[in-house]
Amino acid sequence: MAMTQVEKDLVQEQAADTSYDVYEIFVQASDLDPHVHVGSVLAPSPEWALQLARENFLRRAEAVNVWAVRREDVHATPADPDWFAREFDRKYRDVSGYADNARRWKRFKAQAMNIDDVIADVRKE
């Protein structure tokens, strides 16, 4: 028996309605860490996704926060390696581009600085 388009749509809608959604799970390990993607769960709602994510992904690891994001709401870059193309060096914006500073400071009988020293110094009581 042939179905009309309306019937077909209805069947499809009902089928979609009885299945769970995929939620992508992101875990924040500590307050100073960003949320990191760890995997996904099938769940009927965002609340359930969070409930289920806890034991499916945090049986051992510690965390301070979890995000559950419906997969449809994740926008990803295309699978095109050229999207990330970076052919020429950008040493001018890197520490490694300034390796000569240390040698030049020596001439002035002074030491080059680095950020770790500054942080340690500022933190020091």
**42 forms part of the interface with other proteins (CB under 8 A):** yes
Kindly indicate which of the ranges 15-23, 62-70, 85-93, 96-104 contains the residues binding other proteins, using the contact rule CB under 8 A.
15-23
**99 forms part of the interface with other proteins (CB under 8 A):** no
Give yes or no for a contact between 112 and 105, defined as CB atoms under 8 angstroms apart.
yes
Min dist CB 36 to other proteins, Å, is: 12
Amino acid at 36: V
**52 forms part of the interface with other proteins (CB under 8 A):** yes
Choose which of 7, 12, 45, 106 interacts with other proteins (CB under 8 A): 45
Binding residue count for other proteins, defined by CB under 8 A: 24
**39 forms part of the interface with other proteins (CB under 8 A):** yes
- Total length of the chain: 125
Residues that bind other proteins (CB under 8 A): 17-20, 22, 38-45, 47-48, 51-52, 54-56, 59-60, 76, 79
